[in-house]
Structure 1
Amino acid sequence: METKQDNIIAADYSEVMQKSYIDYAMSVIISRALPDVRDGLKPVQRRTLYDMYELGIRYDRPYRKCARIVGDTMGKYHPHGDSSIYEALVVMAQDFKKGKTLVDGHGNFGSIEGDGAAAMRYTEARLEKLTQEVFLADLDKDVVDFLPNFDETEKEPEVLPVRIPNLLVNGADGIAVGMATSIPPHNLGEVVDAVKAYMKNNEISVKGLMRYMKGPDFPTGGIIVNKDELLNIYETGTGKIRIRGRVQIEKQKNGRQLLVITEIPYTMLGANIGKFLNDVAALVETKKTTDILDISNQSSKEGIRIVLELKKDTDVENLTNMLYKKTRLEDTFGVNMLAVAEGRPETLSLKQVIEYHVDFLFEITTRKYTTLLAKEMDKKEIQEGLIKACDVIDLIIEILRGSKNREQVKKCLVEGVTKGIRFKSKASETAAGKLHFSEKQATAILEMRLYRLIGLEIEALEAEYKQTMDNIARYEDILNNYDSMAHVIMDDLDQIKKEYTVKRRTTIENAQEAVYEEKKMEEMQVCFLMDRFGYMKLVDMNVYERNKEAANSENKYIFTCMNTDKICLFTDGGRMHSIKVADIPLGRFRDKGTPADNLSNYESAKEQIIYVAPMEQIRNGSLMFVTAASMCKLVKGEEFDVAKRTIASTKLNPEDYLIFVGLADEMEQVVFQTREGYFLRFLKQEISSMKKTAVGVRGMKLTEGDAVEHAYLLEGHREYNITYKEKEYSLNKVKLAKRDTKGVKPRL
C-alpha cells in the first residue's frame, strides 16, 4: 500500500513575511484608509451611502434608524466593525467637519466641542438632497462598473458617479500603512469654477486655477494667514497651512474689555477646545499673563463664543499675539493630498485632482448618454412600428382574427408568412405577405391597446416619435462632439453650484508672524523645599529664615536657587526630569506644595527620586552615579544642561537601578555600603569620568544576592558618622582599599 507523501514547500521566512505584509498594507491603503480621487470617498463611506440609496432612505422620505443602516451595510457590503461604519456615518452628518454634509442626521450626532454621537439605536438618518442628486443619480444608467460584494451575493458600485470633485469639497483624512492623507475642505462654488476653467483650457496652471479656487474653506471659518505659501502647497500636494481663530473686541459698561473668539481653527475641533481653555488658564496660573480676569465658554448651537474678560489697561494686540503663540488659537493644518488614482496611491497637485475628476466626468457622461441613446433607439424602433401599424391597422386586425395563435400572427408580421391564416380576400393575403416588422415592433403591436387608434393618440404618438428623434440627434451630438459634451457637463456644474453653494467662511490673507513682548521676570533668589512625598514649593528667603528649624525637619531637599533656573530630579530608573523654577508656585510656608508629577514627566508610581539639585549647581560640577550592582562613574554636569524636559541620565544594565547620585567635586573618597553589611572605601580618582550614555565601571565585588544599598562621598579631613545597626559608626574607620575589591564587615 502506497503512503501519501506531504508536499512540503520550502520558503524563506523573511520573503513570506515581506509579501504578506505588503499584501496587507496594499489592502489597507486601497480598500480602507484612502479615498478614491474620482468620488473622494473611502470604501466605508461609499458603501454606506449606496446602502442608504438601496434602502430608499431618500431626502424626501422619513428618517430611518442608524442601527438599521449600519447593520445592512455591514451585512451586505462592509464586513468590518459596526463602530467604524457608524463613525463614518456620523462624520458625514457633522456640518462642522464636512464642507457639505452627505447625510442628514436626526438626533444627537455629537458637537463641535468633542461630545460623541448618541448610540446608533437612538439616532436616525437619511440622505441629503445633494448626495442623492449629485452623488447617486444615474446609477441606473450603467455609468459605473458594479463589482461582487465580499460573499458574491450582492453587487456594489466600484465608485459613485459623483459630479463634483468631492475630494476637494469635503476634503479627506486617513491613516494607512506607511502613509496618510490630509486634504482640507474647499468651497463648492469655487471648486466648480476651477473645474470649468480647466475644461475651457486644460493647459491652465495651478496658479491660474487658484484665481477661481482661492484656498481651503473650513466649516469652522477662521483665518488662513500664509496665503503666499498656498501656491506651493497646491503645486506639490504637501505643505502646512497656518490658521488662526477669529477674535473680536467688545467693550463693557464698566470700562473692561472682552476678547471674544467667534471662530476657531479647524484643528481645534473636539477635545482641543477644552485643551485651549486649559492652556489659557495655565498662562494665568503661571503668571505668564496677568491681563485675563476670567474665561468662559459661551458656545451654543448658534456658534462658537469663547469670552476672555480683560483688565482695563490691557494691551489687547500683545495679548492676542501671545494666545497665537502659546495656545492653539493659531495652529497648522498639514496638507498631504494623497488619494487612490488608477488603483494606486498618489500624491496629487490641485491640477491633477481636477484633471482626474474631469476625465471621470467625461467617462460617466459618455456612459450615461450611450445608455440613453440605446433606450431612445429602442423607442424609435417601436414608435416607427406603431406608426406603420396604424396605417395598416385594418389588415393587422384581419390577420389577428384569421390566426389560430400568437406565434402565427407574429410570424406573419415579421416574416410575411400567411400560411394557415384566413383572409377575407386574396388582396389582403398579398398585402400581409409584404409585411416586414422587427421582432420588437411585432411584440409592441400585439401589446398595443385599442385606445391608441384614437386620432389624438395617433397624433401624440407622432409627437413622441419626433421628440425621440430630437433626443437621438442631441445624444449623438453629445457623444460625437467634445464641445457639446463639455457644454452639458458645465451646465450641470452651474446648476449644482446655483443650488448648493454657500458663502465662503474662511478668510485668506498674508499676516505677519505673531510677535508679543514677554514681560521680563524679575530675577530673585528663592528657597526650594521638597518633602519626602515629592511635594515641592518655593518660599521667599526671609520666610525660610524665620521658619528654618521647621523647614529643615519637614523637608528632604532644601536649597536656594534663582527663579530663572531649572530644578533637576534624578530617579532610580536612570532618568533626569527638569522643571523650570518659574513653574513652581511661590507660596506661603504652610502651603502643601505641588507634586513633582504635576510639573514634569516624573511618575511616582514607576520611579523614585534619589537626588534633586538646581541646574546652576550641576552645570559647573561633576556628578557621581552609583547603581545597586555597584556600577559607578563620574559625569560632567554640563551634559545635563539640555532643553528636553526628560532625558536618560545614565545607561543601566537589565535589572539594575540607581541608588545614588551626588555632586562629587569637593569630595576625595567614596564609601559603598551593601545590603549584607560590607563596606568599601577607596579614592574617588579611581572612578573614571565618562559620558552619561556609559554604563560605568564596577566599584565593588559583590557576593551573590548582595547589592549596594548606600554610597557616601567623603572629604579628606572630615569625620563622617552614620547609624549602622542602631549604633554610631565612623566611615573614616573603614580601611582604605582599591576599587573593585570585596570590602570589609565592620566590628562594632
Structure 2
Amino acid sequence: MNEVVVSPDAEERIPLKDYTEKAYLDYSMYVILDRALPNIGDGLKPVQRRIVYAMSELGLKATAKFKKSARTVGDVIGKFHPHGDSAAYESMVLMAQPFSYRYTLVDGQGNWGSPDDPKSFAAMRYTESRLARYSEVLLEELGQGTVDWQPNFDGTMDEPKVLPARVPNVLLNGTTGIAVGMATDIPPHNLREVVEACIHLLDNPKADVNELCQFIQGPDMPTEAELITPREDLIKMYQTGRGSLRMRGVWTREKDSGDIIITALPHQVSGAKILEQIAAQMQAKKLPMVTDLRDESDHENPTRLVITPRSNRVDAEQLMQHLFASTDLEKTYRVNMNMIGIDGRPGVKSLDVILSEWLSFRTVTTRRRLQFRLDKVQKRLHLLEGLLIAYLNIDEVIHIIRTEDEPKAVLMERFKLSDVQADYILDTKLRQLARLEEMKIRGEQEALEKERDQLEKTLGSATRLKTLIRKELQQVAKEYGDDRRSPIVQREEAQAFSETELIGVDPVTVVVSEKGWIRSAKGHEIDPAALNYKAGDSFKFAVRGKTNQSVMLLDSTGRSYAIAAHNLPSARGQGEPLSGRLNPPNGATFEGALMGSDEQRVLLASDAGYGFVAKLGDLYSKNRAGKAMLSLPKGGRVLAPQVLENPEKDLLAAVSNEGRLLVFPVTELPELARGKGNKIMNIPSARVQSREEYVIAVGVIAEGQSLTLHAGKRHLTLKAGDLDHYRGERGRRGNKLPRGFQKVDRAEVS
C-alpha cells in the first residue's frame, strides 16, 4: 500500500483573534436573522413561522379538530426548528393568548395561562391546539408560487422563507426580541386602521407619517386600558421608529358603595401584582385613606379590582393619581421598530417605510400568485386543446392506439400534438369519452380563456394590480377587523402623594416645656399646663395646628426651625428633648412656636423694640441647625412670635417694663423674609444693653378684641375706645400707663 503523507503546510492556521471574531459575527447574524427579529413580510420570527407552517402541514386548520400540542411541537423541532421543546411551546402559547396577541394565530383548548400569570399554562401533553381563523391571512396563498422556499436544517424537506401575508402582520401583532447588539419592541395595532393607511399609501406613494397617522391613531394593545401618550409623541415615534408608550388602567366609582372599581389594566400587567403593590403601601401606612382591597375578577368580568376608600369624602381622583404614579396601574413601554426588511437586512424603520416596504412585498407576492395561476391556466388550456382534437377524431385515435406499436408518436404526427398533449390523451379514461364531454371541455375552455385574459390584463397593468391589492386588503379588514380596544386619551401626568398629603388632617396641640421637651396631643381642647411634666420641668408654651403641618420654632438667638407634627411623641408620655431632633446654638432656649399655612403672616419682634412681619413659610428650614431669621440688637432678646389673622386691620400693642404703651396699625411694619426689622417702640439702645428698659410684651389686637395688662395681682383691661389714648406713630415712646402699672408682667389679648 502507498502511504499518504500530509504535509504540515496543508493545515489551515489562522490567528485566534480572527477565528473568534468571525465565529462571533456568524453567531450574531444567525441570532439576528434566524431567531430574534421579525420579517417585515409576515411579521413573524422563524420559530413562529415554523409553528404556523407545521400546524398547516398537520392539517390543523381553524375548522379541524384539536390535536395535542405536543404533536405540533414535535413536528416543529423535529422537522424545522432544532431547538428546545419548551422554547418552541412557549412561543406557541404566546400566539394563543388573547391577552398577549392582538390577533391570535393559534386556537388553544385547555389551560393556556391567564392575564395574572401568562406563564401558568399547562404542559404541552395536556393542551390541545389548532390554527386560529386569522392564520389563514398568512397561509391562504402559500401553495400558489408566492414565496421562495429553502431546505430545512437537515436538507430533507423544504420550508417557506416567509409566509405570503395578506396584511402587514408585523404591525398588527407586534413582537419583542433581543438579538446580539440590537433588540426589537414593536407594539400591536388595529387591523382596520393599518389597512386604511395601506390603501392611502397605495394611492399616494409619497404620503408622509403625518398623513398616515390620520388613519393609524396609535398602537392598539389587546387590553381596554387607556393609551395616554401625547399625540405629538406618537407621531415622533412613528417618524423615528423609536420612542415609548404609556398606558393607564381604567376605573370607575360606584355611587352606592363609593368603592373604586378598576376594570382594565395596562398590557401584560398582572392584577395580582397591582393588589400586592397597593397592599404593601397600606401595610407601610402610606395609604391611610384606603381600608379594603379585593379581587372580584371572574369569567364575566376578567378584570375587577375593588378599592374601598375610608369614606365617601376621600378624593377618588387624587387617590387614583397616586396609584398611577406609584404602581403598575400606569406602565411605560419601549418602542423600537427593528425588523428584517425586504432587502434581508435588519433596521429600525419609520411607519411610512414599513408600510411602503410591505406594500412592495405584497405587490411582488400578488404578481407571483397571478403569474402562477396564469401558468396553470395556460397549461390546462393546452391540454384541453389536445383533448378536444382527440374527442373530435375519437374513432381514428382509438384505431391508432389499437393498431400502432408506438401510438404516441403517430398521434403527435397525425394531429400535430405536443408531447404533453399526447400523454394526456393516452392517460384519459374511457368514461371521459362520453357524448356530453365535449360540452364540458368547451365550457371549461371558455372559462379558462376568460380567466387567462383577465390575468394577463391585471399583470400588464399597474393600476389593475393596485386595485386588486386594495380590494383584497378591504376584504381582510371586513372579515377580521374589529374596533379599537385601547382608547387614546389625553391625561395629565400622575403625581404620587407627598408625605404630608398621606397624613390625616387631624387637629393637634404641640406642647413645649421649660426644659425644651416637645410632645403632641390630639385635639385642641387639651389644657397643656395640666399635663404631667418631669421633676423640675413645667409648661412653657403650646401651639395648635394640624397633623399635616410643620411646627415652626424660634429660639432665643433668633434662629428658626421646622419639625413635622405628625411624628412627634404622644402627650400621654413626657415627650422627647428638642435637642435630639435639632442642633440649636449652645445655651439657646426655645421661645415660641407657630403652625399654619405657608402664607400665614406672623409678627417677629425683639425686646429691643424692633420687629417685622414675615410669612410662616419663611421660617421653614430643613436643616437641624435651623436658619437665621430674626437679627437681635446688642442686649436684645426674642419675644414670642405672634400670628396675624388680618394684617390689614390688626393693631399692634407694645408695652415696656417702664409702663409705657404704644398702639399702631400692623401695616406700618414692613414684610421681610428675615432680618432685624423696623423700630416698633423707641427705647435707647444703651438702656436695652443695660436691661434698664425693654419691651416686656407685644400683642396683636384684632377688631373687637381688648388688651389686658397684668402687674402683680392687679390687671387692667383696655377696650377699643381705651386704646385710642395710646395710639401713636410707629417708633414713638408711647404713653404712660395709670399708676400701679409701671411694672407690667405680661399682656393678654382676648
| Fold match (TM-score > 0.5) | yes
2:83 pairs with 77, 80, 86, which one? Answer: 80
CA distance in 1 between counterparts of 2:549 and 2:156 reads 73
* 2:646 matched residue in structure 1: none
* 2:305 matched residue in structure 1: 306
CA distance in 2 between counterparts of 1:120 and 1:161 reads 28
Aligned pairs (5 A) from 1:64-103: 64-103=67-106
Amino acid aligned to 1:321: Q
Q: Is residue 286 from structure 1 mapped to residue 266 from structure 2 by the alignment?
A: no
CA distance in 2 between counterparts of 1:297 and 1:30 reads 43
Aligned pairs (5 A) from 1:486-565: 486-515=466-495, 518=498, 519-520=500-501
Cα 1:391–1:205, aligned 2, differ >3 Å: closer, same or farther?
same
CA distance in 1 between counterparts of 2:565 and 2:146 reads 67
CA distance in 1 between counterparts of 2:566 and 2:345 reads 51
1:409 pairs with 384, 407, 410, which one? Answer: 407
SS of structure 2 residue aligned to 1:331 = strand
CA distance in 1 between counterparts of 2:565 and 2:25 reads 51
CA distance in 2 between counterparts of 1:409 and 1:479 reads 40
CA distance in 1 between counterparts of 2:480 and 2:43 reads 18
Amino acid aligned to 1:386: L
Cα displacement string for residues 244-279 of structure 1 (whole angstroms, at most 9, x for unaligned residues)? 111111122xxx4111111111142x4xx3332122
1:123 pairs with 107, 127, 132, which one? Answer: 127
Cα 1:206–1:3, aligned 2, differ >3 Å: closer, same or farther?
closer
CA distance in 1 between counterparts of 2:568 and 2:104 reads 48
2:422 pairs with 436, 442, 449, which one? Answer: 442
SS of structure 1 residue aligned to 2:22 = helix
Verify the 8 A CA contact 1:325 1:514 in the aligned structure 2. yes
Post-superposition offset of 1:301: 2.8
Post-superposition offset of 1:476: 1.0
CA distance in 1 between counterparts of 2:510 and 2:179 reads 53
Verify the 8 A CA contact 2:384 2:441 in the aligned structure 1. yes
Cα displacement string for residues 433-455 of structure 1 (whole angstroms, at most 9, x for unaligned residues)? xx211122222222333444444
CA distance in 2 between counterparts of 1:494 and 1:615 reads 73
* 1:357 matched residue in structure 2: 358
Percent identity over the alignment is: 38
* 4+ residue segments displaced more than 6 Å: 522-526, 539-542, 581-589, 614-617
* 1:152 matched residue in structure 2: 155
Q: Is residue 239 from structure 1 mapped to residue 258 from structure 2 by the alignment?
A: no
Verify the 8 A CA contact 2:241 2:348 in the aligned structure 1. yes
* 1:54 matched residue in structure 2: 57
Post-superposition offset of 1:585: 13
CA distance in 1 between counterparts of 2:139 and 2:304 reads 37
CA distance in 2 between counterparts of 1:12 and 1:410 reads 66
SS of structure 2 residue aligned to 1:119 = coil
Cα 1:11–1:219, aligned 2, differ >3 Å: closer, same or farther?
same
* 2:650 matched residue in structure 1: none
Amino acid aligned to 1:275: K
1:274 pairs with 272, 275, 281, which one? Answer: 272
Q: Is residue 137 from structure 1 mapped to residue 137 from structure 2 by the alignment?
A: no
SS of structure 2 residue aligned to 1:462 = helix
CA distance in 1 between counterparts of 2:510 and 2:125 reads 62
Post-superposition offset of 1:3: 8.1
* 2:195 matched residue in structure 1: 192
* 2:43 matched residue in structure 1: 40
Cα displacement string for residues 624-655 of structure 1 (whole angstroms, at most 9, x for unaligned residues)? xxxxxxxxxxxxxxxxx9xxxxxxxxxxxxxx
* 1:393 matched residue in structure 2: 394
Larger Rg: 2
CA distance in 2 between counterparts of 1:31 and 1:582 reads 63
Cα displacement string for residues 309-346 of structure 1 (whole angstroms, at most 9, x for unaligned residues)? 12221111111111111112112111110111122210
Amino acid aligned to 2:189: H
Verify the 8 A CA contact 2:240 2:350 in the aligned structure 1. yes
Tell me which moved more, 232-241 or 448-457.
448-457
CA distance in 2 between counterparts of 1:18 and 1:85 reads 30
Post-superposition offset of 1:583: 13
Amino acid aligned to 1:458: E
Verify the 8 A CA contact 2:70 2:125 in the aligned structure 1. yes
Cα 1:393–1:245, aligned 2, differ >3 Å: closer, same or farther?
same
Aligned pairs (5 A) from 1:347-746: 347-404=348-405, 408-416=406-414, 435-515=415-495, 518=498, 519-520=500-501
Superposition RMSD in Å: 3.5
Amino acid aligned to 1:377: Q
1:27 pairs with 5, 30, 36, which one? Answer: 30
Post-superposition offset of 1:524: 12
Post-superposition offset of 1:60: 1.2
Amino acid aligned to 1:468: L
* 2:334 matched residue in structure 1: 334
Q: Is residue 207 from structure 1 mapped to residue 210 from structure 2 by the alignment?
A: yes
SS of structure 2 residue aligned to 1:46 = helix
Cα 1:6–1:541, aligned 2, differ >3 Å: closer, same or farther?
farther
CA distance in 2 between counterparts of 1:14 and 1:524 reads 76
Amino acid aligned to 1:317: E
Verify the 8 A CA contact 2:82 2:153 in the aligned structure 1. yes
CA distance in 1 between counterparts of 2:412 and 2:62 reads 47
SS of structure 2 residue aligned to 1:141 = coil
Cα displacement string for residues 563-602 of structure 1 (whole angstroms, at most 9, x for unaligned residues)? 99xxxxxxxxxxxxxxxx999999999xxxxxxxxxxxxx
Post-superposition offset of 1:393: 2.2
SS of structure 2 residue aligned to 1:458 = helix
Amino acid aligned to 1:393: I
SS of structure 1 residue aligned to 2:25 = helix
1:180 pairs with 171, 180, 183, which one? Answer: 183
* 1:717 matched residue in structure 2: none
SS of structure 2 residue aligned to 1:363 = helix
Post-superposition offset of 1:52: 0.8
Cα displacement string for residues 152-177 of structure 1 (whole angstroms, at most 9, x for unaligned residues)? 11211111111111111101111112
CA distance in 2 between counterparts of 1:215 and 1:168 reads 11
SS of structure 2 residue aligned to 1:296 = strand
SS of structure 2 residue aligned to 1:507 = coil
Verify the 8 A CA contact 1:267 1:332 in the aligned structure 2. no
Amino acid aligned to 2:138: F
Q: Is residue 220 from structure 1 mapped to residue 223 from structure 2 by the alignment?
A: yes
Verify the 8 A CA contact 1:524 1:563 in the aligned structure 2. no
Verify the 8 A CA contact 1:452 1:458 in the aligned structure 2. no
Amino acid aligned to 2:273: K
Cα 1:588–1:507, aligned 2, differ >3 Å: closer, same or farther?
farther
Amino acid aligned to 2:410: C
* 1:531 matched residue in structure 2: none
Cα displacement string for residues 259-306 of structure 1 (whole angstroms, at most 9, x for unaligned residues)? 1111111142x4xx3332122123323333322111111122332111
TM-score, normalisation: structure 1: 0.66
Structure 2, unmatched stretches of 5+, are: 512-517, 522-531, 535-547, 551-563, 573-579, 584-622, 624-750
Cα 1:331–1:81, aligned 2, differ >3 Å: closer, same or farther?
same
